[in-house]
């Protein structure tokens, strides 16, 4: 009798392990799949040919040939100071305006760690040392795919307009103990990330809603600063950002962004995230510094 009970219990354990392993394989197979922006992490075919070199890490990066999408802001900005690497040449020098980001591959040197919990049983944490990003121009806007770690991928879609830079979509994929969870947010109205032209002392707040959350963000242009990162030296606008998440997703995001007008986005970031949605909790404390960009 005891032998039969032991055999039956072992069989149930093996079945449970098999189901868990099978489900994990099913959820994490391939790259993340998002409903907006096309295949994840893939530059447009015209972007894949040329390459530029990361002088700090020796890594090859894609160099773009694509044009900005219709309706985006013109590529105009203040000229960056000379740097160790070649900085993009702006179209003109209109204060407070920013360029439309080039398509291609970017990399950041990172320090910090993240942790994630899937309910009460699954908890994972990891260090982050490098973050890679692929940008491309799509009918939906400027698509940026972020590989933060093997356990964390994101997609952000921006709309670059003459009056500001807006986030229209965010997707996130997290993996813990072999299980992948994916979330998506289509914002209506879109989130105003940068109000143009940028002026020191300006501030604004914006509220946007998606399928899973309401995000209320407050942003202030603190100062202008020349900052040195592994990719070189850049003139930047320093933005202080704080966001609160409610209605489905709860938590907050606090960050400092060093925005390069010549690149059209941040060359350095300090960010702190604590958020929870449908039993999935993410904590992230990172510093990112640009290491390479398309020449």
Instruction: For 75-135, give the DSSP string.
Output: ---PPPPP-SSPPPPPS---TT--PPPPSEEEEEEEEEEEEEEETTTEEEEEE--EEEEEE
Mean pLDDT, residues 90-118 taken together: 88
- Work out the pLDDT band at 59, boundaries 50, 70, 90: very low
Separation of alpha carbons 282 and 182, rounded Å: 12
Asked if residue 21 has pLDDT above 50, the reply is no
Average the pLDDT over each of 4-18, 61-75, 124-138 and give the range with the smallest value.
61-75
Residue 191, strand partner residues = 167
Q: State the Cα–Cα distance between residues 10 and 194, nearest whole angstrom.
A: 58
Check residue 30 and give its pLDDT: 66
Name the band, by pLDDT with cuts 50, 70 and 90, for residue 94.
Answer: confident
pLDDT over 60 (residue 12): no
pLDDT of residue 56: 35
Mean pLDDT calculated for residue range 242-256: 95
| Residue 85 CA from chain centroid, whole number | 23
- Rounded to the nearest 5°, which phi and psi values hold at 209? -120, 150
Closest by CA position to 263, among listed 154, 155, 169, 133: 133
Provide the pairing of β-strand 249-260 with 152-161: unpaired
Q: How far is CA 18 from CA 13, 14, 144, 261, in A?
A: 9, 6, 36, 52
Which residue in 163, 160, 215, 162 sits closest to 189, CA to CA?
A: 215
Give the residue carrying structure tokens 């491309």: 136
Cα dihedral across residues 69, 71, 76, 81: positive or negative:
negative
Asked whether the predicted pLDDT for residue 229 surpasses 60, the reply is yes
Q: What is the DSSP letter of 45?
A: G
What is the three-class DSSP state of 47? helix
- Which has the minimum average pLDDT: 57-71, 156-170, 227-241, 260-274? 57-71
What is the spatial distance between Cα 276 and Cα 274, in angstroms, rounded to a whole number? Answer: 7
Label residue 126 left, alpha or beta by phi (over 0 means left) and psi (-120 to 50 means alpha): beta
Total residue count of the chain as it appears in this document: 295
Q: What is the pLDDT of residue 43?
A: 72
Strand partners, 204: 219
Given a cut of 80, whether residue 240 has pLDDT beyond it is yes
Residue with tokens 């072999």: 178
How confident is the model over 157-176, as pLDDT tens digits?
A: 999 999 999 999 999 999 99
Q: What is the pLDDT of residues 264-284, one digit of tens each?
A: 999 999 999 999 988 899 999
pTM of the model: 0.76
């Amino acid at each position: 009798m005891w032998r039969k009970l032991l055999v039956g219990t072992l069989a149930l354990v093996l079945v449970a392990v098999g189901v868990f392993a099978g489900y994990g394989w099913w959820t994490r197979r391939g790259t993340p799949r998002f409903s907006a922006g096309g295949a994840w992490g893939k530059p447009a075919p015209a972007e894949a040919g040329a390459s530029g070199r990361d002088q700090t890490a020796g890594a090859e990066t894609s160099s773009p040939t694509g044009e900005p999408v219709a309706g985006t802001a013109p590529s105009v900005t203040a000229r960056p100071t000379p740097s160790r690497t070649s900085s993009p040449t702006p179209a003109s020098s209109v204060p407070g305006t920013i360029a439309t980001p080039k398509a291609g591959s970017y990399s950041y040197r990172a320090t910090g760690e993240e942790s994630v919990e899937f309910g009460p049983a699954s908890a994972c944490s990891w260090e982050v040392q490098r973050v890679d990003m692929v940008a491309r121009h799509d009918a939906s806007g400027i698509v940026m795919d972020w590989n933060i770690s093997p356990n964390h991928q994101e997609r952000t879609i921006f709309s670059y307009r003459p009056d500001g830079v807006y986030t229209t979509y965010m997707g996130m994929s997290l993996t813990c103990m072999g299980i992948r969870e994916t979330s998506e947010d289509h914002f209506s109205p879109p989130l105003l990330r940068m109000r143009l032209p940028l002026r020191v002392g300006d501030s604004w707040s914006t509220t946007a809603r998606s399928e899973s959350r309401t995000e209320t963000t407050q942003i202030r242009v603190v100062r202008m600063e020349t900052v040195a990162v592994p990719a070189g030296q850049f003139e930047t606008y320093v933005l202080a950002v704080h966001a609160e998440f409610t209605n489905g997703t709860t938590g907050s995001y606090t960050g400092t962004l060093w925005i390069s007008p010549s690149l059209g986005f941040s060359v350095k970031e300090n960010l702190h995230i604590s958020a929870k949605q449908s039993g999935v909790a993410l904590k992230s404390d990172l510093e990112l510094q640009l290491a390479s960009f398309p020449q």
